[in-house]
Amino acid sequence: RKEVEQDPGPFNVPEGATVAFNCTYSNSASQSFFWYRQDCRKEPKLLMSVYSSGNEDGRFTAQLNRASQYISLLIRDSKLSDSATYLCAVIVLFSGGYNKLIFGAGTRLAVHP
Amino acid sequence: EADIYQTPRYLVIGTGKKITLECSQTMGHDKMYWYQQDPGMELHLIHYSYGVNSTEKGDLSSESTVSRIRTEHFPLTLESARPSHTSQYLCASRRQGYDGELFFGEGSRLTVL
């Protein structure tokens, strides 16, 4: 089982729609969570960190559910420019005190007119 | 915008050639990383460095090597390229204490014939 799993999609939605993605993680020692955006054939860019209390940045809302071990990303009022792959990333703390950042394979979003 | 640069952006080369992928950042970050990513797949960490003269292998076995002689420079070398090395290579860096907040270069897309 992968440490971080995402539905690959694609999620095809019309402009203006609300869409949500989940990302599940298997290690309960995971301590920090992030969403990255990656445009086609481009590098990933940090979209937002995910705080325990949830956080919002404009049309984007990130939530953490520790009990069920997943994070979510909600995009409201989708724009054509939101079309991209959304990667979740999780920091897992291992015994010995070292941590590792693990990326999911991403969820592809396609927003159409 | 992130100040991290990779060259070449695209490279097509024959089997057996030696290649070096360059990565430089001007942000003064101590921590630097090399990831390998195939289309639609996860980022796989192949090398990382926590500072000058510090290099470690990542999770994905790679025949490449790296060096870190200067803080700003983290080149990756393949002594003898093979078709199995065809992939996108992404360099990243981060600030101390910001474990999940990586800044990525635009990537080097390598094709070995």
**Element holding A61 (H helix, E strand):** strand A60-65
A68 CB-near residues (< 8 Å, 6+ apart): A24
| Among the partner residues B99, B101, B106, nearest to A43 by beta-carbon distance | B106
Give CA angle at A103 (B110, B104), nearest 5°. 50
Cα–chain center distance at B8: 12
Cα–chain center distance at A41: 18
Q: CA B29 to CA A112: how far, in whole Å?
A: 39
Other Cβ atoms closer than 10 A to A63 = 19
**Rg for chain B (alpha carbons), in Å?**
13
pLDDT of residue A82: 98
List the structure tokens of B26: 């001007």
User: pLDDT digit string (tens) for A24-80?
Assistant: 999 888 889 999 999 998 999 999 999 888 899 999 999 999 999 999 999 999 999
pLDDT of residue B1: 63
Q: Tell which residue, B84, B82, B98, has the closest CA to residue B2.
A: B98
Closest chain A CA to residue B58? A100
pLDDT above 70 covers a percentage of chain A that reads 100
A53 CB-near residues (< 8 Å, 6+ apart): none
pLDDT of residue A37: 98
Which of B102, B109, B111 to probe by mutation at the A interface, max A CB count within 10 Å? B102
pLDDT of residue B2: 67
| Among the partner residues A45, A101, A104, nearest to B99 by beta-carbon distance | A101
C-alpha distance from residue A54 to each of A35, A106, B12, B13 (Å): 12, 20, 45, 47
Phi-psi region of B30 (alpha: psi -120 to 50; beta: other; left: phi over 0): alpha
Instruction: Answer whether B42 sits within 8 Å of A44, measured CB to CB.
Output: no
Which of A4, A30, A32, A43 to probe by mutation at the B interface, max B CB count within 10 Å? A43
Q: CA B98 to CA A92: how far, in whole Å?
A: 14
Residues of chain B with pLDDT under 70: 1-2
Q: CA A100 to CA A89: how far, in whole Å?
A: 10
Q: Is A13 exposed, middle or buried (0-12, 13-18, 19+ CB in 10 A)?
A: middle
CB A102 within 8 A of CB A93: no
Other Cβ atoms closer than 10 A to B16 = 10
pLDDT of residue A97: 73
pLDDT of residue B30: 94
pLDDT of residue B36: 96
